[in-house]
Structure 1
Amino acid sequence: MKILDRYILSRFLYNFFSSFLILIVIFIFQGIWLFIDDLAGKGLGIVIIGKFIFYFIPTLVDKVLPLTVLLSSILTFGTFAENYEFAAMKASGISLQRGMRSLIIFVLFLGVVTFFFANNIIPKSEQKMFNLRRNIAKVKPAAAITEGVFSDFEGTGQGMNIKVERKYGEKDRFLDNVIIHKKTNQSVNNTVIKAQSGELISSEDSDIIQLVLKNGHYFEELKPKKSAEKRKHPFAKSRFETYTINIDVSELNDQDLEEDQNITTDKMKNVVRLIKDIDSLGKNNVEKVEAFSKNITSRMGAFPIPEKQDSSLIKLNKIVPVDSLANQQKDTINSIEGLLASLKVWQRMQVVNNAKNSVTGILNTVKSKKEELQKRFKFYNSHILSLHKKYALALSCIILFFVGAPLGAIIRKGGLGLPMVVAIILFLTYYFIGVFAGNYAKEGNIHPALGAWLSTLIMLPLGISLTKRATADKGLFGFGHIFDSIKQFFGKFIKKKKED
């Protein structure tokens, strides 16, 4: 490697690792802030919180790495241009592409490493972080209760859903406006408890956690044996000043926080697993749609699927004269009006009501099935999106380098001022296009592959244009060629007039 290549590469690597460390710290604090309330003050200890942050860091790479490449390339080449180092290179006959040669090799290598990281490290990290949060919620019941929403609170013996308006106090032990839906053995919520306040009381020596509710009401739906009594929907209601619920956590106290559970989403799968699941999910969805279509068709009694006839029967049908078949069809009913006219009034009402009920039932079935199929296809689309995002992330690092390097040479400014502003604006454009495209892709509005690649494909022509302008020593926004074209056009027009 020549001295120039080593110099350019060393300056780029310095800016690259400096930018990466600064950005990863910023994104860690921004991400941890979202769920710090569920970790801090729960008696978890520094080790558990440290493990959570350690598992969380790899999930930030898809955001931090493209911004790092963009920012470090702008900083490096902006500093070169500002210090007239590029002018010295060009005076020596060294072009921009020649100066970028060592960095191009490094960025290509970085793209391969990024794909390996996205395919192997990030899925493992996502699964570790998910399992850690789930196991923490088991061991620390207060962490399982989220303010403002119903949270599954599974103890041993019976389960319940708890919703609280606010948690406060030491380890979030005090609760305001508590609503509890207790579950039966059949997982049916037939008991509702409402209380103005509550408190979680536990002891290190005891396997029982007490949930003490104060100033509330108890509602229970009764299940009588007689059908006549069931129609009355009987229930019991009582008021209490203090009501205590004991939760046995003896099985949960032995919970291993590092235990891996067989829970996987699209973000927790590598390329091989995604391709396999995409194929199986696609076939399963098609089978579900075909089965549902056949079910609806048979229920409607319309649009029957033609069945293959036996060849012997076809030959027999050909022997039968056409006139005899026409005579047989004279007595058949060919319209709905003809059918209704042949019936009595009460029969007409019965037929119409039955048809109305049948259509209503079919429509309700279609609506409910539509929601299920939408969830299935959204799950299927998210797998395709995750698969292509792994490739798009690797390529985006390469493309954003070709955006940032010529842009830095054009703006001719180093430091963390203007380059940082330009890098953030470009990255936010790239990031939000990716977010909106991903959401549209999950809903099925656009193809998931396009949703993963759209932001990268938009940056591709920008990188080509900026590289051409930087090579030709043109500014960021040049309108001179437009005015030159206009002058040339009118010049030819005027010259032609004079000749005439």
Structure 2
Amino acid sequence: MSLFVLVMQFFWLYMDEMLGKGVGVWPLFQLLLFMSTILVPLALPLGILLSSIMTFGNMGENFELVAIKSSGISLLRFMQPLAIFITFISFLAFLFANYVIPVANLKALSLLYDVRNSKPTLTIRPNQFNSEIPGYSIRIGSKDEDGRTIRDIVIYDHSDMVGNNKLVMAREGEMIPTADKRALIFRLKDGWQYNEGFEHGVHNYTQIRMHFDQWDKVFDMSGFKFTRTNEDMFKSANQMMDVAQLNESIDSLKRQQKRSLGMVTSNLAPYISLETAGRQKDAVVKALAQKYAPARVTYDSTFLEYVPDSMRQMVMQAVVNNVTFQKTQMDGVSLDNSLQTENYLKYEIELHRKFSLSFACLLLFLIGAPLGAIIRKGGLGMPMVVAVVFFVIFHILNITGEKLAKAGSVAPWLGMWLSSIALMPLAILLINAARNDSKIFTKEWYFRLWRAITFAGPAVPTDTVAKEK
């Protein structure tokens, strides 16, 4: 059920970009199938949370948990076999995210790219100009019920990029698509062609008018046909990699960043002597000290005062050129380093996502099981509400951590594990509350808490106390 809700959310989000393009049922079915596979790691924690709340809530409502506790079996001991089973489910979820999700991402995202970039089907409506065919503007006066016969046709041809210098008008005609759907034939009858031309010379224009009884105008429709892009173009994206490939890419980016830092020194070395490394740097420093230390040469204002007037302009121009060249080099290195850092963060985030969402299955079970024991309500009423609330909190924390990690505000591991770190204390608190038969979800508990705070009034209404007695 949770997977169905998430798939429908995706469908409603991209419905306007998928429908009306003549894609066909099979590609759309494939897209929904692949997207449902991608959403499994997100739907599985929600399903485990809801099922654990419903199961333990139903057992609490039927006093089965009371019978288990009265027989000397604690809640933790009763949860232990289920926790082991959920741990196994979490391990399977990791394997699924590591080996199946990259393939599904490759299939789904490449197919979604093709669907979103495909042109809509050609729709020619009466008394409206249609410019969907590149280079042409078409208007028809009316269309018969058969969908083929058209009347009062006007076609402006501006395919040669010099304006509307070609015009075709016909009294009636037919729209005939070819068998392979790659062309559309307008079989026009009883019409005129107007063609304005320009010859070499001043104000030397020509106009040609030609009448025809029947003429076939062929439009190329290959651009409207749904085509698939080569999937190899998408394989380098972080969503299409498993753990081994992500680690390899991360190591490659680290080595590339070190090479970029080395390029900074190598670019500056020919122009700034003190940036040279090793013995050459020491030799330069020693030579400068021996030459200028005894005299202690100081400049009143600028070094250019000691440059001859005949060379001053050349020196200044050389300095400006060197500084401009170095700025260009540094800007390129800085941009390359920014792109590498962005890719590094994406790979790190995707790597931790595979582990954090798998661990979320166990975490939400540790939250859902004690919640069900405390609520003591089965079915789809109260458990559904509580499960949605806790999952929304988990999802918001997960998205917030991911955005902070992408922005570089926090480390990638901290951003992707933020939801688990924040909800783990809550899981421990709920387990302790369920072990002690907490009444935090009953109204009597809140009446007693209010009495303890205000020291006035009865803990619960009088009729409630009488019923309890």
> What's the TM-score once normalised by structure 2's chain length?
0.68
Which structure has the greater CA radius of gyration?
2
User: Which of residues 234, 238, 248 is equivalent to 1:263?
Assistant: 234
1:429 aligns with 2:393: yes
SS in 2 for 1:261: helix
Which residue number in structure 1 is paired with residue 406 of structure 2? Answer: 442
Which residue number in structure 2 is paired with residue 279 of structure 1? Answer: 251
User: Which of residues 253, 269, 272 is equivalent to 1:301?
Assistant: 272
Specify whether residues 289 and 142 from structure 1 end up closer, same or farther in structure 2 by C-alpha distance, changes over 3 A only: farther
Identity of aligned residues (%): 28
Is the CA contact 2:352–2:413 (under 8 Å) kept in the aligned structure 1? yes
1:382 aligns with 2:346: yes
Q: Deviations over 1:297-347 (max 9, x none)?
A: 237526413323699x99xx99xxx9x985776578555835222135686
Specify whether residues 328 and 283 from structure 1 end up closer, same or farther in structure 2 by C-alpha distance, changes over 3 A only: closer
Which residue number in structure 2 is paired with residue 109 of structure 1? Answer: 88
Q: What letter matches 2:72 in structure 1?
A: G
Q: What letter matches 2:55 in structure 1?
A: T
Q: Deviations over 1:240-284 (max 9, x none)?
A: xxxx9976849x9795x5964352211111111111111112211
Work out the CA distance in 2 between the residues paired with 1:44 and 1:248: 14
Which residue number in structure 1 is paired with residue 374 of structure 2? Answer: 410
Work out the CA distance in 2 between the residues paired with 1:392 and 1:465: 21
Q: What letter matches 1:267 in structure 2?
A: Q
Once the two structures are TM-superposed, the CA of residue 369 in structure 1 deviates from its matched residue by 4.2
Which residue number in structure 2 is paired with residue 71 of structure 1? Answer: 50
Work out the CA distance in 2 between the residues paired with 1:130 and 1:352: 55
Work out the CA distance in 2 between the residues paired with 1:192 and 1:307: 63
Which residue number in structure 1 is paired with residue 64 of structure 2? Answer: 85
Report the more deviating stretch, 340-349 or 119-128: 340-349
Once the two structures are TM-superposed, the CA of residue 289 in structure 1 deviates from its matched residue by 3.1
> Over aligned residue pairs, what C-alpha RMSD do you find?
4.5
Q: Deviations over 1:33-77 (max 9, x none)?
A: 222233323333222221111111111112211111111111211
How is 1:34-433 mapped onto 2 (pairs within 5 angstroms)? Answer: 34-136=13-115, 140-142=118-120, 203-205=178-180, 207=182, 249=222, 257=228, 260-264=231-235, 265-295=237-267, 297-298=268-269, 301=272, 303-308=274-279, 326=290, 335=299, 337=301, 339-343=303-307, 351=315, 355=319, 358-359=322-323, 362-363=326-327, 365-367=329-331, 369-433=333-397
Task: List gaps (5 residues or longer) in structure 1.
Answer: 1-21, 144-166, 180-190, 196-200, 211-243, 488-500
SS in 2 for 1:42: coil
SS in 2 for 1:110: helix
Specify whether residues 270 and 136 from structure 1 end up closer, same or farther in structure 2 by C-alpha distance, changes over 3 A only: same
1:25 aligns with 2:4: yes
Once the two structures are TM-superposed, the CA of residue 349 in structure 1 deviates from its matched residue by 6.3
Once the two structures are TM-superposed, the CA of residue 398 in structure 1 deviates from its matched residue by 0.3
Which residue number in structure 2 is paired with residue 217 of structure 1? Answer: none
Work out the CA distance in 2 between the residues paired with 1:268 and 1:128: 9
SS in 2 for 1:444: coil
Work out the CA distance in 2 between the residues paired with 1:113 and 1:128: 21
Is the CA contact 2:3–2:43 (under 8 Å) kept in the aligned structure 1? yes
Once the two structures are TM-superposed, the CA of residue 83 in structure 1 deviates from its matched residue by 2.6
Work out the CA distance in 2 between the residues paired with 1:77 and 1:325: 82
1:472 aligns with 2:444: no
Q: Deviations over 1:460-487 (max 9, x none)?
A: 1211111111112224488999x99xx9
Which residue number in structure 1 is paired with residue 212 of structure 2? Answer: none
Q: What letter matches 1:306 in structure 2?
A: A
Work out the CA distance in 2 between the residues paired with 1:193 and 1:360: 43
Q: Deviations over 1:99-126 (max 9, x none)?
A: 2233212211111110111011111111
Specify whether residues 202 and 374 from structure 1 end up closer, same or farther in structure 2 by C-alpha distance, changes over 3 A only: farther
Specify whether residues 347 and 419 from structure 1 end up closer, same or farther in structure 2 by C-alpha distance, changes over 3 A only: farther
Which residue number in structure 2 is paired with residue 186 of structure 1? Answer: none
> What's the TM-score once normalised by structure 1's chain length?
0.64
Specify whether residues 326 and 457 from structure 1 end up closer, same or farther in structure 2 by C-alpha distance, changes over 3 A only: closer
Is the CA contact 1:71–1:419 (under 8 Å) kept in the aligned structure 2? yes
Is the CA contact 2:91–2:358 (under 8 Å) kept in the aligned structure 1? yes
Q: Deviations over 1:188-227 (max 9, x none)?
A: xxx99999xxxxx9754564589xxxxxxxxxxxxxxxxx
Q: What letter matches 1:405 in structure 2?
A: A
Work out the CA distance in 1 between the residues paired with 2:427 and 2:81: 18
Specify whether residues 377 and 269 from structure 1 end up closer, same or farther in structure 2 by C-alpha distance, changes over 3 A only: same
How many residue pairs were aligned?
Answer: 382
Specify whether residues 89 and 33 from structure 1 end up closer, same or farther in structure 2 by C-alpha distance, changes over 3 A only: same
Once the two structures are TM-superposed, the CA of residue 428 in structure 1 deviates from its matched residue by 1.4
1:463 aligns with 2:430: no
Specify whether residues 461 and 87 from structure 1 end up closer, same or farther in structure 2 by C-alpha distance, changes over 3 A only: same
SS in 2 for 1:30: helix
Once the two structures are TM-superposed, the CA of residue 366 in structure 1 deviates from its matched residue by 3.8
Once the two structures are TM-superposed, the CA of residue 92 in structure 1 deviates from its matched residue by 2.2
Specify whether residues 310 and 425 from structure 1 end up closer, same or farther in structure 2 by C-alpha distance, changes over 3 A only: closer
Q: Deviations over 1:371-410 (max 9, x none)?
A: 4322221111111111111111111100110011111212
Q: What letter matches 2:13 in structure 1?
A: L
